[in-house]
Amino acid sequence: MNTTISQNNRVLSGMRPTGLLHLGHYHGVLKNWIELQHSYECFYFVADWHALTTHYEDPSIIAESSRDMVIDWLATGVNPGNSTIFIQSRVPEHAELHTLLSMITPLGWLERVPSYKDQQDKLKDRDLATYGFLGYPLLQSADILIYKAGFVPVGEDQVAHVELTREVARRFNHFYGKEADFEKKAEAAIKKMGKKNARLYKDVRKRFQEQGDTEALSIGKALLGSQQNISLSDRERLLGYLDGGGRIILPEPQSLLTASSKMPGLDGQKMSKSYNNTISLRESPQNVEKKIKTMPTDPARIRRTDPGDPAKCPVWDLHQVYTSDETKKILSEGCKTAAIGCIDCKQYIIDAILDELKPIQARVKDYLDDLSGVDSIINEGCEAARDVAQDTIEEVRKVMGLTFR
């Protein structure tokens, strides 16, 4: 049982501004972000420093795509009323925490992260033997820990980074979680819960610490989770006091693995900019039509009269995303018997994508017509994020001996 996992309800995720967003981002990431807004306190940010780790030679793409990326988020339904939307480099506390965490992070931990070697192999045309690139996952850890986020929605390729974050947080708490007046502060925090809850807390703490009663531990954690009138840092203090592990300053986050909706691209591979098989969220209707119409199909269907096999056709992968089971049954039959042509079959996909993009593009246009409105949303988000980040960095400075102010 892990008692140091964060009990809070905060979600944090970021995206690198390295070009136009496409349908792969929408189906694979954004729809999930939008859904999470209903149940979590969400922080979503433009990871411009992370983009620099790979695009340092020509950063123009970062400047160009940062605001556009936020516009696409807003247009698809990320709601600034529910979520804090901001730019990483506008919250310099991330960088300070990154520096401080770098002091305690063993080099081997970074060298062992799989994406380090993978990406260097994959992006052969870039020199990624840099200090910044090695530190990529630790900067990501700082992004997460500066908000004490409980949950990080990521794809499979990022799970190792969240795992590193947990290890770094654990090491940090181990070194610095023993405040001198921990017990006194914990006892004071207990009182804030009210008589009845305080008694229950003391009772389950005793049962766990004296008899190893893990059920009592769960009750205690649930009790802390339900407390409205204690601060986050008191909650973490009481969590540490409950299990005897000292105060948790940086809680360990969990990844929320996105139910891997691998949006297929135009060629049967996963949709990705590096495969050049994307449909952008801003693609014109004419381009959508052209791109779908020129998609490869089952190579056995040379003439309209040749029967085909949907299992061998990349268009069929798109039907899995867009088409009802009922219609798919008819199309599959039609393909296998040559009753329908590929042009007919593709028209369903064209219509579905156009229907999907139409309202998004209308909202993109509204935001493009009101850039100062967009900038206000971003500015407000940056400020709100900074408020939270400053609280954390102050605590971190204090426990790391940086008290001379």
Q: Which residues of this protein are in contact with ligand SF4, per CB under 6 A?
A: 297-298, 301, 308, 310, 313, 315-316, 335, 340, 342, 345-346
Nearest distance in Å: CB 10, ligand TRP: 12
Instruction: State the Cα–Cα distance between residues 282 and 285, nearest whole angstrom.
Output: 9
Which one of ligand SF4, ligand TRP, none interacts with residue 177, CB within 5 to 8 A by kind?
none
Q: 271, exposed or middle or buried, with CB in 10 Å at 0-12, 13-18, 19+?
A: buried
Check binding of 220 to ligand TRP (CB under 6 A): no
How many chain residues interact with ligand TRP (CB under 6 A)? 13
End-to-end CA gap in the chain? 40
Sign of the dihedral through C-alpha 103, 394, 189, 229: negative
Is residue 62 within the footprint of ligand TRP (CB under 6 A)? no
Q: Which does 345 bind (CB under 5 to 8 A by kind): ligand SF4, ligand TRP, none?
A: ligand SF4
In this structure, the dihedral spanned by the alpha carbons of residues 97, 103, 109 and 113, taken in order and rounded to 10 degrees, is 40
Q: Percent helix, strand and coil across the chain, each rounded to 5?
A: 60, 10, 30
- Residue entry with tokens 């049962």: 207
Side-chain half-sphere CA neighbours of 169 within 13 A: 29
Question: Considering CB distances under 5 to 8 angstroms, the limit depending on partner class, which of ligand SF4, ligand TRP, none binds residue 190?
Answer: none
The total of other beta-carbon atoms located within 10 Å of residue 31's CB is 15
- Residue 154 found at the interface with ligand TRP (CB under 6 A): yes
Residue closer to ligand TRP, measured from CB, 145 or 193: 145
Q: How far is the CB of 144 from ligand SF4 (least distance, A)?
A: 42
Task: Give the span between the Cα atoms of 341 and 339, in whole angstroms.
Answer: 7
Counting contacts by CB under 6 A, is residue 237 touching ligand TRP?
A: no
The one of ligand SF4, ligand TRP, none whose footprint includes residue 346, by CB under 5 to 8 A per kind, is ligand SF4
Cα separation, 20 vs 229, whole angstroms: 44
Residue 140 as a binder of ligand TRP (CB under 6 A): the answer is: yes
158 touching ligand TRP, by CB under 6 A:
yes
Specify the stretch interacting with ligand TRP by CB under 6 A; choose among 13-21, 76-84, 127-135, 168-176: 13-21
User: Do residues 45 and 86 touch, judged by C-beta distance below 8 A?
Assistant: yes
Among ligand TRP, ligand SF4, none, what does residue 301 contact (CB within 5–8 Å per kind)? ligand SF4
From candidates 11, 14, 24, 250, binder to ligand TRP by CB under 6 A: 14
Query: Using CA atoms, how far apart are residues 203 and 122, in angstroms rounded to an integer?
Result: 56
- What is the binding site for ligand TRP (CB under 6 A)? 12-16, 47, 50, 140, 143-144, 152, 154, 158
